Amino acid sequence: MKHPRTENRGRPSEKIKEVPRKFTRVYYEIPTKPELGCKSVWHYDLDKFANGPYLVEHFDPAFDKLEKLYNKLERLNKPKYHENGRKKRTTKADKIKMETTERAYWKEHYKLYPEDKPKKRGRRANRINS
């Protein structure tokens, strides 16, 4: 009758750690308060590119609102279709949504990029001070 081996004698075998080949790292501009600054995500795939990241994404909270408004405007401008393939009618309510979204988008855009704001044309109003 053999007893089960409970203890290995001699030097323990080395367990080789398997290094991950595909991983991501997240870096924050202000590490102690990540909600304040920018965030960047570095994507690594050592099979694709062995020397460093193959993709770096930067997320800036100042531009998130502008991007959301842009996506909403694109979604509203895209035509909608019935189940049978015919195009749906654009109603007055849809047009109003498009206009308000476009106005909000340009307001946010000019807040971030004031140099893009168009110059005012026309005559200046005369102000009479009494």
Tens digits of residue pLDDT in 31-87: 888 778 888 999 999 999 999 999 999 888 888 889 899 999 999 999 999 999 999
Helix %, strand %, coil % of the chain (to 5) = 30, 15, 50
Percentage with pLDDT > 90 across the chain = 56
Least-confidence region, from 21-30, 94-103, 116-125: 116-125
What's the pTM?
0.57
CA atoms within 13 A on the CB side of 55: 8
The pLDDT value recorded for residue 56 is 94
